[in-house]
Amino acid sequence: METTPAPPRIRLKDLCYTVDDREILSGITLDIAPGEILCVMGLSGAGKSTILRCIAGLVPATSGELLIDGVDLVGKQERELLPIRAKMGVVFQYAALFDSMNVYANIAFGLLRGPRCREFKKTPRAEITRRVQELLKEVGLPGIEKRMPPELSGGMRRRVGLARALATEPEIVLYDEPTSGLDPVTAAAIDDLIVRTRNTKGVTSVVVSHDMQSIFRIADKIVMLYEGKAQIYGTPDDVRNSDDPIVQQFIRGEIDGPIEIG
Ligand SMILES: Nc1ncnc2c1ncn2[C@@H]1O[C@H](COP(=O)(O)OP(=O)(O)OP(=O)(O)O)[C@@H](O)[C@H]1O
């Protein structure tokens, strides 16, 4: 008996984003299944952060379709985007923690000021504390509630950023360069957490990354953006075995080849 594949959690169909007649994203089509990890790679300026911001509903795509669980974000008003944003957690580049707030307050912020704040406003303080403790345990940093972000290493900050993004139990987590600037061992620990959130909670992830090792370690699918277009979209093996010289030059990090660096 044939099984019907699950409908995609995220679907981009011919998605375009134009600013002043300049196509920043052009005709992007891809599907992200529930629980899948999609890595977005490409040269600097290729449109990686823009695609992530479109999916987060922070940048309005100009045309095409961008469906989250079947709901099209394109052309939606800010107010209509709120329930869709509530399904998502975002881990920003360099974690973007508030330096003047301790770790507890940074994570609780995700609950009390995030897209589902109305729900959590009624939650007793003891329950919030318990939740923050649990989240810190999940990311391997139990008991650091009172520490201030400037006291933490880069890897710890990223893990606190992930705990904050996971606080509202999002179905989708978007990561903007989660391992940039980290040593290879700490980067591998962050990768492990991304995969673990998929395995234990079924989270669907979109990861923008420059870290080739990390991409091939965690990706179920990869899209390489080149001048705003999807140069290749497929499994890690599809990318490795591609005979496209642009793809090969990029993944090997070679200077010579068809890629023109702007
Ligand atoms: N609102 C905007 N107005 C004008 N240009 C924009 C806007 N948003 C993005 N761009 C341009 O679109 C291009 C893609 O930007 P984006 O930040 O998505 O690239 P990126 O692949 O994430 O790069 P990096 O790896 O350097 O972070 C860049 O040239 C950027 O200047």
Nearest CA to ligand 1 atom 26: 44
When pLDDT is averaged across residues 253-257 and rounded to a whole number, the result is: 89
Residue with tokens 């649990």: 134
Counts for the chain of helices (H) and strands (E), in that order = 10, 10
pLDDT for residue 14 is more than 90: yes
Bridge-based pairing state of the strands 172-176 and 88-91? parallel
Ordered by start, the domain boundaries in the chain are 10-98+170-252
How many percent of the chain have pLDDT more than 70? 94
Residue with tokens 């990354």: 209
**Backbone phi, then psi, for 3, in 5-degree steps?**
-100, 140
> What is the per-residue pLDDT for 94?
64
pLDDT for residue 16 is more than 90: yes
- Asked if 17 and 59 touch (Cβ cutoff 8 Å), the reply is yes
Residue with tokens 């007793």: 124
Q: Give the binding-site residues of ligand 1, using a 6 Å CB cut-off.
A: 19, 24, 42, 44-50
> What is the per-residue pLDDT for 118?
67
The C-alpha atoms of residue 28 and residue 173 are separated, in whole angstroms, by 20
Of residues 18 and 116, which shows the higher confidence score?
18
Residues in the chain, total: 262
Residue 95 CA to ligand 1 center (angstroms) comes to 20
pLDDT for residue 254 is more than 70: yes
Residue with tokens 């300049």: 22
In this predicted model, what pLDDT tens digit does every residue of 134-148 receive, in sequence order? 889 888 889 999 999
Q: Note the CATH architecture for domain 10-98+170-252.
A: 3-Layer(aba) Sandwich (3.40)
In this predicted model, what pLDDT tens digit does every residue of 138-192 receive, in sequence order? 888 899 999 999 999 888 888 898 889 888 889 999 999 988 888 888 889 889 9
Q: Across all residues in the chain, what is the average pLDDT?
A: 89
Residue 238, token pair as written in the block: 């599809």
Among 200, 234, 207, smallest CA distance to 55 is for 207
Of residues 78 and 120, which shows the higher confidence score?
78
Largest Cα–Cα distance in the chain? Answer: 60
Beta carbons within 10 angstroms of residue 102's beta carbon: 17
Strand partners, 72: 67
Residue 65 CA to ligand 1 center (angstroms) comes to 20
How many percent of the chain have pLDDT more than 90? 57
SS3 176: strand
